[in-house]
Copies of this chain bind each other. A is one copy, B any other.
Amino acid sequence: MAQRRTARGLLSRGEIVDAALAFAEEAGLQALSLHKVADRVGVRTMSLYRYVRDKDDLLDAMGDAVLTAMTVPEVESMTWEEALAALADAFRAAVRAHPHAAPLLLTRRINAPASLPMVETTLKVLTSQGLSAKEAVHVLRVYIAFLIGTLLREVGTAPTYASDSSALSAGSPDALADSGFPLVADAATELSVCDHEAEMKFGLAMFTAALRERLGAS
């Protein structure tokens, strides 16, 4: 073991985080343990503690890494509508690259510097349209809340991408049709299918419409 280590060079925080991310995508986040990560990295569990304060610290670092890997688009030459769509796309791509790790950045406190490039660019788009810093922050929060809710739904199809089209609520159309709720029954077919990309586009269109009105009013 010590040999394999020296052969590969020193252990590092980055190597540990990468191993943890790889493990999470293979086996799921619940299966992740420091013991398993250590195994994968070829080291004994306790060695991790030189690079990682905690299991929680590791989880934070994983979320951070996923967010850092996001490529923030160049928005200079775009309309604001295109820019917001491109930002959403880039965020979605980063999340989909690590669906099992995604909850770490979607649900843990985003206090990471890693989120700032995206925030900065979004604020640039919004303020370039005449919003004040204050208004831009409110609009940013609505935008992010929508993105998080939408991506959580997409990625919350937790176990290993079970099926591509997943229900909003109860499983089968039949269960919904027999639920005893007339409008749910009417919409059973629609409710039991979810095209994540289309839903994202639909929501972005609503968001854009609302923002356009707000911009016009100012």
Using a CB–CB cutoff of 8 Å, the interface residues on chain A facing chain B are 103, 106-113, 115-117, 119-120, 123-124, 127, 133-134, 136-142, 144-150, 152-153, 156-158, 166-171, 179, 181-184, 186-187, 190-191, 194, 199, 202-203, 206-207, 209-211, 213-214
Contacts and interface: CB of A to CB of B under 8 A. Distances in A.
Nearest to A30: B56
Contacts of A123: 183-184, 186-187
Nearest to A217: B209
- Stoichiometry, as copies per complex, reads 2
Nearest to A120: B181
Name, among A145, A190, A211, the residue most crowded by chain B CB atoms within 10 Å (CB to CB): A145
A134 B190 contact: yes
A141 B193 CA distance: 12
A164 to B, nearest CB: 15
A38 B1 CA distance: 42
A123 B203 CA distance: 17
